[in-house]
Homo-oligomer: A and B are copies of this chain.
Amino acid sequence: MNQRLPVQGAHGDLLRLVATGKAESRAELSRLSGLAASSVSLRVEELIDAGLLAEEGSGTSRGGRRPRRLRLAPTAGVLAVADLGAHHARLGLVDLSGTPLVIEERPCDIADGPQATLDRVADAFDELLAEHVPRSVPLRGIGTGVPGPVDPATLRVVTPSRMPGWNGFPVADHLAARYDLPILVENDANLMAAGEARWWPDRQNLMVVKAGTGIGCGVIVNGRLHRGRGAAGDISHVRVSSDSSVICACGHPDCLEAYASGAALTAALAEAGIAVERPADIVGLVHDAVPEATSLVRNAGRRIGEVLTVLVNFFNPDVVAVGGSLSAAEPLITSIRAAVWERCLPLATRDLEIAPARAGRDAALLGAGSLLLEAALATP
C-alpha cells in the first residue's frame, strides 16, 4: 500500500504543475516547464501509463483547438495530514492536489506527550484509510503540524512553550518507524502559510498571521515557505510599548503575545467578569457587540498592526493574510489595517493587500499536503 512516488526530476515537475493547479493541459505544461511540447507529450503519456495522471474531457478553447484537460488520477495516491492543537487535532486525508477527501477533528491533549499523541494520530490515519480509501490507492506521505518551533534540520520540536514533554522529541523519526514514507513535521503557522499561499497563486511574497490562542506567523518568499533556522515568522515575542509591564511565558516583559493573543484576551475578559473558553467565543461576543470584547479585540489588532508595520517595511510583502480563530472578528483586521496604513512607507503599502485568510479552517492541512507533494517529488 505504501509506496514512494516513482517520479524524478522533470517528470516530477510536470506532476507538480498539474497537482498545484498551475497547468491543466499539455500546452500549459510546456509553457510553464520550459520543456518542448513534444517532450511534454511523451512524459505525460508515461505519467498516464503509470497511473498518476488522467485525461478528463476537454477545457475551454482560447480561440483554437480545445485543450485536453489533465487531472491527477484518483488512484495516484493520498496524503495523511494532521494539525495538532493544544486540546484537539484536526486530521484527515487529502489527495495529491490537496483536495480534502475526509477531515475530522478529534480531542487530543498535547500535554499527554509526543508518544501517546502521535500514536493516536497514526491510529486515526489508519482508521480513515481503511474506511475511505481503496487498498489500491497508495499512501504517499505523512505530514503533521505542531504548535511550536521545529528545527528544519532534524525535524525535532525545539523549546516549545506550550508542549510539555515534547522538547527535542524526534517527531519525524517516530513516525518514520511506523511509515516508510516521506514525513513532514512543521510549525502550525508555517503550514497555514503554505496552505494560504495556494490561494494567492499570483502573489509571491506573503505574510500569514495566525491569531488564535497564540499569535503565529508564516512567511512565503518567492512562493516558497521561508524557514530560516526554524523559528522564522515568530512575532509573538516582540516587545510592544506599554504603560504597565506584563511578564510573558518566555521570560521577557511586554511580549505581543501577552497583550494580543487569544489567551491574553481571555484572561482580560475574565478579569472583567466575562468567562470564555476558546478564542472563538470571543468572536461571538464581538458579534453580539459586547463592548469589553470589541474594545479588547480592537486593541489587540492595533498592537499586532504596530508590529506588522516594522515587518511590512522590512519584508515588503504583496499580501498580509490574517487567519486563525480570532480573525473572524471584524475589528481585528480593520485595526491591523489602520495601523499599517498609517505608519508604513507609501512604497510598502502601495498595492499591499491586508485581507482575511482565504484558505479557511483547513489551511494547515492543505499546506501540509502542498509541502508533502514537494517533498515526495524532490529528486530522490
Contact = CB atoms under 8 A, between A and B. Distances in A.
Interface in A101-152: 149, 151
Contact of A158 (B313, B315, B347): B347
Interface stretch (A194-202, A216-224, A275-283, A360-368): A216-224
Contacts of A307: 310
A231 interface: yes
A236 to B, nearest CB: 9
A242 to B, nearest CB: 10
Interface string A236-256: 011101000000001010000
A234 interface: yes
A159 B347 contact: yes
Contact of A316 (B158, B232, B346): B232
B237 A318 contact: no
Contacts of A345: 149, 159, 231, 234, 237, 250
A233 interface: yes
B234 A348 contact: yes
A61 to B, nearest CB: 30
A314 B233 contact: yes
A228 interface: yes
Nearest to A207: B314
Q: Which of A205, A219, A310, A314 neighbours the largest number of chain B CB atoms within 10 Å of its CB? A: A314
Interface of A: 149, 151, 158-159, 205, 217, 219, 221-222, 224, 226-235, 237-239, 241, 250, 252, 306-307, 309-311, 313-318, 343, 345-348, 350-352
The list of the 4 closest CB pairs from A to B, nearest first, reads A228-B316, A232-B316, A231-B347, A234-B313
